[in-house]
Amino acid sequence: MLYRAAQHYLASCEKTSVWLGELCAFRALTPAGYVKSFLERHHAVVLETLLQRRRAVRFYGRMMEENSREHLDTDNEAGGEDALVGNVNKLMVTPPGYTGPPKKGHIIFDACFESGNLGRVDYISEFEFDLFIRPDTCNPRFRVWFNFTVENVRETQRVIFNIVNFSKTKSLYRDGMSPVVKSTSRPKWQRLPAKNVYYYRCPDHRRNYVMSFAFCFDREDDVYQFAYCYPYTYSRLQHYLASLERRNLDYLQREQLGLSVQQRRLDLLTITNPASPGQSSNLDSCTSQRPIPAPLRSAFNGAEGPGLAQRDREEKM
């Protein structure tokens, strides 16, 4: 091993001037004798070189193994999530082996509504549940959005929900963002306290990213709804566009570009000055399979609502 290390070390030094005198002195020796003589004279240097190479090989070996494992886990996770073809529908989660009648505290999960996303629920304990979100349509590697309701809770019941199959490595949840919640008695969306939200790599889930949040239910008769962020549904967008179209504004034109995979309308909005048809700007209103995020929704409404209102005032003047 030291002999091979000496050969490698000499090969790396032959192109430098450090060992030029050494090379000239042993030029007449055979290759084997040359290496043997060098090894005897510089045993400590060669040994250190060997140790450095071993450490480097082990380090890069671990890196490659970890990367391969992460890619394999991602593929396996994606394949598993691809099997989640539908949302949970009034799913009551009880302890394993429980056969008695439903009780308060046996939480019922539901995501069968527009913009809902929750594909699976695993019971961990009375106070903890693992939640699996479905991936984007035709793209199983991306899993971000969630939106679901829970009911049949017990007053003062404390729970921890773990969203265990996030695909994003960098999330705003790491910088203070938190999910939103509302209930039937409090229909306004509110953010959970950031101190109750954790985003981390979990060794129990193949080191995938997990978002956990703690919550305490205070009213038994309420239905609670949790979401990644403020939902903005496709139907709400269509109602908004229809209201603009009904105004028959001469500087706004709405056209149908086509249909989505699920046969939903895709719109093209053209906002321009009718007196200058050459100076026009198009605003594509294309929908995805999940609701428009809050920042994009605000930008969309801000670009059209106030802008069109200002144009109306100018027309009247």
| DSSP, res 26 | T
pLDDT at 164: 92
Distance CA 191, CA 171 (A): 16
CB 224 within 8 A of CB 154: no
Reported as type and span, the H/E element at residue 157 is none
Domains and CATH numbers, the chain: 2-80 (no CATH), 91-227 (2.60.40.3120), 234-316 (no CATH)
H helices of the chain, in order, are 2-13, 20-25, 31-41, 43-82, 234-246, 294-316
Q: pTM score > 0.75 for this model?
A: no
Token code pair at residue 36: 């043997």
Mean pLDDT by 10 residues, the chain (317 residues): 51 45 46 55 60 57 50 47 76 93 95 95 95 85 92 96 87 88 97 93 83 95 96 94 92 91 90 68 52 56 57 54
Q: How far apart are the first and last CA of the chain?
A: 91
pLDDT at 256: 94
pLDDT at 72: 44
Let me know the angle formed at the C-alpha of 31 by 30 and 32, rounded to the nearest 5 degrees. 90
CB 115 within 8 A of CB 294: no
Distance CA 118, CA 231 (A): 14
Dihedral sign from CA coordinates of 53, 54, 55, 57: positive
pLDDT at 234: 92
| DSSP, res 134 | P
Q: What's the chain's Rg over C-alpha atoms?
A: 31
pLDDT at 114: 94
The residue type found at 112 is: C
The packing angle between helices 43-82 and 2-13, to 10°, is 90
183-192 LR contacts (CB < 8 Å, sep 24+): 183/219, 183/222, 183/223, 183/224, 183/225, 184/221, 184/222, 184/223, 185/219, 185/222, 186/222, 189/227, 189/230
pLDDT at 83: 58
pLDDT at 204: 81
Q: Under DSSP, is residue 209 helix (H, G, I), strand (E, B) or coil?
A: strand
